[in-house]
Structure 1
Amino acid sequence: MRISTQSFYDQSLSAMGSQQTSLLRVQQQIGAMSKILTPSDDPLGATRALSASQSISLNDQYSTSRAQASRTLGLEDNALQNVTTLLQNIKGLVVQAGNGTMTDADRASVATTLQSNYDQLLGLANTDDGNGQFLFAGFKSGSAPFVQQAGGGVQYVGDQGQQLLQVDISRQMAGTDDGRSIFQTAQTSSGYVTTSAAANSGDGVYGATSVIDATNPDFGKNFSISFTSATTFTVTNSDTPPVVTAGTYTSGTPIQFGGLQIVLTGAPASGDSFNVNTAKNANPDMFGALSDLIGALKTPIDNGTPAAKAQLQNSLSTANVKLSNSLDNVLTVRSSVGSRMQELDTLNTNGDARNLSDKSYLSDIQDLDYSSAITELYQRQMALQATQQTFVQIRKISLLNYL
């Protein structure tokens, strides 16, 4: 069989090209540290590798969101811890201010301390994250949520939105809480708040309001106790039209209505009134409660009437209940923050385990077996060298060498 010179060269070139291609592919696999260079190398493996890579990428994004949520919740928890400590100190000062031996000057000194606490509380309510974003402003996080009004009082100018973070495949979590739900809200379970009308001229003083029958059909409504004389009163509920019940007053004898009981002492005058409202309907604003308390303590009573002294005593009682309700609300919110932080820890543990599993699966699909790859590299090199040497030797064969 006659083989032409051109055919011989073509076949030799093709064989060396094939060997070089195979050698280059092994070199690229070693350089890329992967056995799949293009989808055509292993279509099914490439599809599985893409799916695993996407899962790892999503998990990394969830991990970033969890880190952000942990940071903001940690800042919120720290702020609420300081608020809790501050409210506990304020409640201690309220008890101190109720000491009957204190003078106007002593109470003014306590009021000065409370004013400082008020300013600290306002600063904590306007806590930011260090990047100019306020924690308790809702969606309006670019500006301070609580603003001191010129005429007194604090106004919440944020909103009640919650910035949700996608912390896992099917879990969105609020990274912060809005300021109104923390500083200007009371829990539904909070007790009733009793207040006396500013125009009261008698020296009636109320004690704590207690629940004696939560199943009473009027329980949960607001009430007003109005004295029609020194010994008679009416209780009006918040129905429309209101229901009015008459009663006879004796100092120290409990007054019962709507499943509640309250004890009044002293001598209320005709026209005096006392409101008994649910915590949510008694203006549950800790700034307002503290401001009213400061104002009451600054009012001199040493040379005042029994009515003025009764007003102070009632103001202290109201402030104590309102601040207790505020403290309970802050503790409830803080408990929610702690639960979310604990959940994030669990999600981080699960996410790390899922990430490790995905990376292990991806490694099985595409990672190169270096021992096999290096062995194949040497085999391809030897095959290429053998092909080249064969070509060199065969091309020297000629009939002229035998003439």
Structure 2
Amino acid sequence: MRISTGQMFHQNTTNILKKQSDTNQILDHLSTGKKINTAGDDPVGAIVADNLKQQNNLVNQYIKNVDYATNRLSIAESKLGSAETLVTTMRDQFLRGANGSLSSVERQMVADEMRASLDELISIANTRDESGNYLFAGFKTNEQPFAFDNNGEVMYSGDSGVRQSVVAQGITVGSNIPGDLAFMNSPNPLGDYGVNYLSGQQGDFTLTSAKITNPAAHIEDTYTVNFVANGANIDVEVFDSSGTLTTTIANFDPATPISVNGIDITLDGNPTAGDSFTIEPQENISILDSLNQAIALLESPDSINTPDGKSKLAQLLNNIDSGQNQVSIARGVSGNSLKALESISVNHGEEQLINNSALSTLEDLDIAEAISEFEKLQLSLNAVSSVFGKVGSLSLFDYI
């Protein structure tokens, strides 16, 4: 078959350019260490590699969210642990101050110690993170959550918000502990109503329960319970907040609850004629207020050893125990979240390892094989170029 000179030049030029292109492609792969630099190198592999990279980017964001939540919860857990220890110390101080053998000066010294501890506890509740945000304020991170009001009671200015961090596909974890959960909303040990023992009490008794037992008959109000002499016995009269007599119980038996408007009130001990107390709705109590009231009781040396003072002492100890348990519950919530985050973090690490291994299989270049291929292409290119140079220089006039 005859081959024209133009055709020969075209074929050889095409072969040389192809060899040069293949050689340059190998050089590109060697320079990056990857066998897929563009989608043209391996269209299917490029799509799979891109999906794996996107998945890794998503996992990296999850890991950042896990780190953020872990950091905040670790601080919260540590602070709640300190608060738990401090409440235990203050309870012991309260019991020491309630010792009847102490003088008023010694009791005031104990109260001063407790006041300093309470200030420290409130400082813990007002902890800020590294960004200056209040840790126990819920969503209101820019507003100090705990402070005393004009009546000396501790007020909470935060909310119940829990900031959720997306830490995995379809999984969120709360990254904060709201202050009301930790310090304000401990269950009332009496049940649904709180008690206020009145001065002048002579009998030795305490309330052990004030619960709503008949919701259909319940009327929420503040009730005053009076014990009235009835010969050798005692009657009970219960008045509502307007002073209206709502219930009368003849021949009171301490073993039988006082029932009024769907509420059952249980007493331990023996009240005497003339004794009185009030109850008001109170589902939750604050450990901060309970400790503040304990300090106030110690600072009233004439009240601590009276019958009503002893009743208040017993009730405050129960309130403090409930508050301490609530702090422990809040600490447990943060601990459980930290444990979950640790497990999720391990899973993300394993996922990254699998993705990176798959990417390596798809993209990483076999250097030795690539160098060998490069040398073959280079040798072939040199050979083609040399032969083409000699053939292209032939002329009929050389043989005439």
TM, length-normalised to structure 2: 0.86
Q: Answer yes or no: is 1:206 the counterpart of 2:212.
A: no
* Residue identity in the other structure for 2:370: A
* Residue identity in the other structure for 1:201: G
C-alpha change, 1:357 and 1:398, in structure 2 (3 Å) is same
Q: Deviations over 1:161-204 (max 9, x none)?
A: 1111001111111101111121110148x554753344x32223
Q: Answer yes or no: is 1:267 the counterpart of 2:264.
A: no
C-alpha change, 1:98 and 1:232, in structure 2 (3 Å) is farther
In structure 2, the residue matched to 1:62 is 62
- Mapping for residues 20-35 of structure 1, pairs under 5 Å: 20-35=20-35
In structure 2, the residue matched to 1:116 is 116
CA shift at 1:7, angstroms? 4.3
Q: Answer yes or no: is 1:351 the counterpart of 2:352.
A: no
C-alpha change, 1:278 and 1:138, in structure 2 (3 Å) is closer
Preserved CA contact (<8 Å) 2:186 2:287: no
Preserved CA contact (<8 Å) 1:226 1:234: yes
In structure 2, the residue matched to 1:293 is 294
CA distance in 1, matches of 2:4, 2:201: 130
C-alpha change, 1:101 and 1:267, in structure 2 (3 Å) is farther
In structure 2, the residue matched to 1:244 is 247
In structure 1, the residue matched to 2:385 is 388
CA distance in 2, matches of 1:112, 1:254: 40
Q: Deviations over 1:305-340 (max 9, x none)?
A: xx9722321222222111111111111111111111
In structure 2, the residue matched to 1:332 is 329
In structure 2, the residue matched to 1:195 is 195
CA shift at 1:152, angstroms? 2.0
In structure 2, the residue matched to 1:46 is 46
Q: Deviations over 1:106-126 (max 9, x none)?
A: 221111011001100110000
C-alpha change, 1:400 and 1:285, in structure 2 (3 Å) is same
Q: Deviations over 1:200-236 (max 9, x none)?
A: 322234346169xx996579x7895612414222468
CA distance in 2, matches of 1:372, 1:243: 98
C-alpha change, 1:95 and 1:336, in structure 2 (3 Å) is same
Identity within the alignment, % = 23
In structure 1, the residue matched to 2:72 is 72
5+ unaligned residues in a row in structure 2: which ranges? Answer: none
Match of 1:201, SS state, is coil
Preserved CA contact (<8 Å) 2:63 2:348: yes
CA distance in 1, matches of 2:46, 2:250: 86
In structure 2, the residue matched to 1:16 is 16
Preserved CA contact (<8 Å) 1:36 1:366: yes
CA distance in 2, matches of 1:59, 1:256: 60
- Mapping for residues 138-287 of structure 1, pairs under 5 Å: 138-187=138-187, 190-192=189-191, 195-198=195-198, 200-207=199-206, 209=208, 217=214, 226-230=225-229, 231-234=234-237, 244=247, 246-249=249-252, 253-257=254-258, 261-265=266-270, 267=272, 269=274, 272-275=276-279, 279-280=283-284, 284-287=285-288
In structure 2, the residue matched to 1:315 is 312
C-alpha change, 1:276 and 1:153, in structure 2 (3 Å) is closer
CA distance in 1, matches of 2:206, 2:299: 23
Preserved CA contact (<8 Å) 1:218 1:259: no
* Residue identity in the other structure for 1:56: N
Q: Answer yes or no: is 1:137 the counterpart of 2:128.
A: no
CA shift at 1:41, angstroms? 2.6
CA distance in 1, matches of 2:195, 2:212: 24
CA shift at 1:400, angstroms? 2.7
CA shift at 1:384, angstroms? 1.1
CA distance in 2, matches of 1:324, 1:216: 24
CA distance in 1, matches of 2:196, 2:202: 11
Preserved CA contact (<8 Å) 1:168 1:347: yes
Preserved CA contact (<8 Å) 1:94 1:316: no
5+ unaligned residues in a row in structure 1: which ranges? Answer: none
CA shift at 1:127, angstroms? 0.8
Q: Deviations over 1:212-267 (max 9, x none)?
A: xx996579x789561241422246899xx9973615347xx545346764213453
CA distance in 2, matches of 1:277, 1:151: 20
Preserved CA contact (<8 Å) 2:235 2:248: no
Preserved CA contact (<8 Å) 1:56 1:355: yes
User: In angstroms, what is the RMSD of aligned CA positions?
Assistant: 3.1
Q: 2:362 aligns with which of 356, 365, 379?
A: 365
Question: For this pair of structures, how many residues does the alignment match?
Answer: 387
